[in-house]
Amino acid sequence: MRRAALGVYVISLCYPLLATFAILTRDAAIVASQESDTNLTDAEIVAAVNGLVVIAVVVGGVAIAVHALVIVSGAAALVLLHRRASNAFFAQPLLP
């Protein structure tokens, strides 16, 4: 269980790193796109790269929220499973 929780924490940390990487490499992506042989104008390239950076940041923010929800709901499930009422419920035989 601890390894699963550690995995969720590690994944949750990866999203902000990816969003930061997208922000920091924005200018390099614009320059590389402008140097490539495309039919896009400079304004279109800047708009496309900015859109991709926004998507990376938003997806990262949503993913962090989802992982936080997973952590909280998992902790709640563990607390509820260790209550006396749940122990008594699971101690009953399945068939009467």
Would residue 96 count as lying in a domain? no
Classify residue 39: in a domain, yes or no.
yes
pLDDT one-digit tens code per residue, 29-48 = 999 988 887 788 999 999 99
- Contacts (Cβ under 8 Å, ≥6 apart) of 4: none
Structural domains counted in the chain: 1
Nearest-5° angle of CA 44, CA 61, CA 23?
A: 40
- Do the domain assignments include residue 35? yes
Q: How many helices (H) and strands (E) does the chain have?
A: 4, 0
Predicted local distance difference test score (pLDDT) of residue 86: 82
Q: Which residue has the higher pLDDT, 33 or 6?
A: 33
Does any domain span residue 3?
Answer: no
pLDDT tens, residue by residue, 44-89:
999 999 999 999 889 888 888 888 888 888 888 888 888 888 888 8
The structure tokens listed for 91 are 């101690």
Q: Does 14 map to a domain?
A: yes
Instruction: Tell whether the model's pLDDT for residue 7 goes beyond 90.
Output: no
Residue 61 included in any domain: yes
pLDDT of residue 1: 65
Q: In angstroms, rounded to a whole number, what is the distance separating the alpha carbons of residues 33 and 49?
A: 9
In a domain, 1, yes or no: no
User: Which domain range does residue 42 map to?
Assistant: 8-91
25: in domain: yes
